[in-house]
Amino acid sequence: MIKQGAKTELDAIIVGAGFAGLYTLHKLRGIGLRVKVLEAGKGVGGTWFWNRYPGARCDVESLEYSYSFSEELQQEWNWPERFSAQPDILRYANHVADRLDLRRDILSERRVVSATFDELNDRWTVCTAGGEAFEARFCIMATGNLSLPRVPDFPGLKNFKGDWYHSGLWPEEGVDFTGRRVGVIGTGSSGVQMIPEIAKQAEHLFVFQRTANFSVPGMNRPMTYEAEQGHKARYAYWREAAKRTPFGIAGHPPPPKTALEDTPEARAEVYERKWGTGGNISFLYAYKDLLTDKAANDTACDFVRAKIRSIVRDPEIARLLMPNDHPIGTKRLCLDNGYFETYNRDNVTLVDVRSDPIIEISEQGLRTKTREYRLDAIAFATGFDAMTGALLDIDIRGAGGLRLADKWAHGPRTYLGLMTAGLPNLFMITGPGSPSVKTNMIASIEQHVDWIADCIAYLRREGIGRIDADAAAEDAWVEHVNQVADATLYPLANSWYVGANIPGKPRVFMPYVAGLDKYRVICDAVAAESYRGFKLMGA
């Protein structure tokens, strides 16, 4: 038990016990550091601890979305489905915590509120909401990219007599919607996943859609013994192959052709095959230029819109569900299990809140400009303050009192997404400016954690007390990240990748989209050149 007022002295503090925090703890322990993880939740698992909404499921296949660093771990764990459901991923995170004996260094229900760098001795002091303080040379932010939930500030929410939930803060005990009139606000990945499941329970489900979203089928299925064993027999091969791909996912050979090289008939066949295979990477890998050429992308958009028209019986509802404001894939392409089919149910109503905006949450439900919907419960699937939200939620102050919030007032600036100049010895895992959310997150996490652990081991070996990103290297990296994004269609969408979902957030494209394979090479070269672009100082 740590006493109020006392400071716990450590070598490294990790904030967050999701997949990034768990692996960082394991790695840093492995190089002999005294480490503690501070976690806001009651348990480990990060995203998969908080996002317990009905239908929550990963859109990367289970055999890929798992740690690769331990052959024993990857061999002994069994995944029940092709795409894992949230409870299975959370079970896996807990298994890893037990298997690697991580829990003794994880302090749960510790929400970090501040992190302050002391320049005199090159150490961070990290404080929790409960008033505890921890001090360490290194601070590693494993705070996640989609971990600060956002509830829009609709007037009247506090007066609502029913229950309301957010996808990212779902009650641990679950929610029974049986016999209730339920409203879901939002049709991103979370909404698309929860809508079919809530529709099966609710007396009536009202979906409040502002922007239609592209979604492709997951074609999820139970894992067969043959599929699992076949993959596991060559796990090392598949993991190595994944490292040489942009997404950190093996088994999707780069497409050889551009979309317009094929005839319309041949294209239709390709898209039909991809649709039947399931998976968003598979679909977006139909042609090599879908994310760089608008005319190519239009062909994929048209195919999905035609699918929606063919699935949804009411032509007016089908029309409303057809996305028309962004190229496919430039917002996270949703993966669903019967999403569009759900709108054929008698107990589901689609409400277009683009033409009839939400005015307020009333005592009895939700009021749009033209009418009131009586609701017993509202599920907000309204997303997150992505990529920077969780970091800026902490009062982080670096050298000379530099506040991260001030430094990033016009958008995040990092070198390699790993560090930001002026905040020495503070590393970010999958930070803005790294491939992160555009990849298999666990693959990106492993790459970052391995790099950070190697870097810290090097600093200790060389007797170096402080590492900081060089401002010029950071400027060059930010420019490079933007140049790469500008050569794609991504910036055309009003997505959370550019912060467009948060009113007032600076519009900056945050992930690095050149691919994890290329990024890995850059990071390795930086390390091999004695951490080029970083300033190493003092003992």
Q: Counting contacts by CB under 6 A, is residue 411 touching ligand N01?
A: no
Closest CB to ligand N01 among 188 and 248? 188
d(CA 213, CA 189) in angstroms, rounded, equals 9
Closest CB to ligand N01 among 290 and 464? 290
d(CA 271, CA 236) in angstroms, rounded, equals 31
Closest CB to ligand N01 among 262 and 360? 360
What token pair was written down for 38? 């501070």
Q: Counting contacts by CB under 6 A, is residue 190 touching ligand N01?
A: yes
Mask 286-325, x = binds ligand N01 (CB under 6 A)?
----------------------------------------
Which of 69, 65, 81 is CA-nearest to residue 247?
A: 65
Closest CB to ligand N01 among 37 and 381? 381
Instruction: Figure out which of the listed residues 74, 167, 299, 337 binds ligand N01, where binding follows CB under 6 A.
Output: 167
Q: Counting contacts by CB under 6 A, is residue 211 touching ligand N01?
A: yes
Closest CB to ligand N01 among 10 and 192? 192
Give the shortest CB-463-to-ligand N01 separation in angstroms.
Answer: 41
Residue showing the smallest CB distance to ligand N01 in the complex: 188
Give the shortest CB-35-to-ligand N01 separation in angstroms.
Answer: 28
d(CA 441, CA 145) in angstroms, rounded, equals 10
Instruction: Figure out which of the listed residues 383, 389, 422, 424 binds ligand N01, where binding follows CB under 6 A.
Output: 383
Enumerate the H helices of 254-353 as residue ranges: 264-277, 280-284, 294-311, 315-321, 339-342
Q: Which residue has the tokens 């703890």?
A: 25
Q: Counting contacts by CB under 6 A, is residue 332 touching ligand N01?
A: yes
d(CA 160, CA 332) in angstroms, rounded, equals 31
Give the shortest CB-57-to-ligand N01 separation in angstroms.
Answer: 6
SS3 at position 214: coil
Instruction: Figure out which of the listed residues 501, 513, 515, 520 binds ligand N01, where binding follows CB under 6 A.
Output: 501
Which of 3-11, 55-63, 482-490, 513-521 is the region at the interface with ligand N01 (rule: CB under 6 A)? 55-63
Q: Site size for ligand N01, by CB under 6 A?
A: 27
CA dihedral 172, 173, 177, 180 (to 10 degrees): -100
CB 244 within 8 A of CB 256: no
Q: Counting contacts by CB under 6 A, is residue 18 touching ligand N01?
A: no
Q: Which residue has the tokens 């509830």?
A: 151
Which residue pairs, CB below 8 angstroms and at least 24 apart, start in 360-364?
360/154, 360/155, 360/156, 361/154, 361/155, 361/156, 361/157, 361/159, 361/160, 361/164, 362/156, 362/159, 362/160, 363/156, 363/159, 363/160, 363/161, 364/161, 364/162
Which of 245, 247, 241, 238 is CA-nearest to residue 435?
A: 247
Instruction: Figure out which of the listed residues 189, 420, 434, 440 binds ligand N01, where binding follows CB under 6 A.
Output: 189
Q: Counting contacts by CB under 6 A, is residue 210 touching ligand N01?
A: yes
Q: How far is CA 377 from CA 186, 206, 359, 374, in A?
A: 14, 10, 17, 9
Which of 95-103, 380-388, 446-454, 522-530 is the region at the interface with ligand N01 (rule: CB under 6 A)? 380-388
Q: Which of residues 70-129 bind ligand N01 (CB under 6 A)?
A: none
Q: Counting contacts by CB under 6 A, is residue 152 touching ligand N01?
A: yes
Outline where DSSP puts E strands in 301-414: 334-336, 348-352, 358-361, 365-368, 372-374, 377-380, 395-397
Q: Counting contacts by CB under 6 A, is residue 505 touching ligand N01?
A: no
Q: Which of residues 418-437 bind ligand N01 (CB under 6 A)?
A: 437
Closest CB to ligand N01 among 287 and 496? 496
Instruction: Figure out which of the listed residues 19, 496, 512, 519 binds ligand N01, where binding follows CB under 6 A.
Output: 496
CB 205 within 8 A of CB 347: yes
Give the shortest CB-149-to-ligand N01 separation in angstroms.
Answer: 8
Instruction: Figure out which of the listed residues 45, 191, 278, 499 binds ligand N01, where binding follows CB under 6 A.
Output: 191
Q: Counting contacts by CB under 6 A, is residue 185 touching ligand N01?
A: yes
What stretch of H or E contains 382?
none
d(CA 37, CA 24) in angstroms, rounded, equals 9
DSSP letter, residue 166 = E
Instruction: Figure out which of the listed residues 17, 25, 199, 358 binds ligand N01, where binding follows CB under 6 A.
Output: 358
Residues that bind ligand N01 (CB under 6 A): 57-59, 146, 152, 167, 185-191, 193, 210-211, 332, 335, 353, 358, 381-384, 437, 496, 501
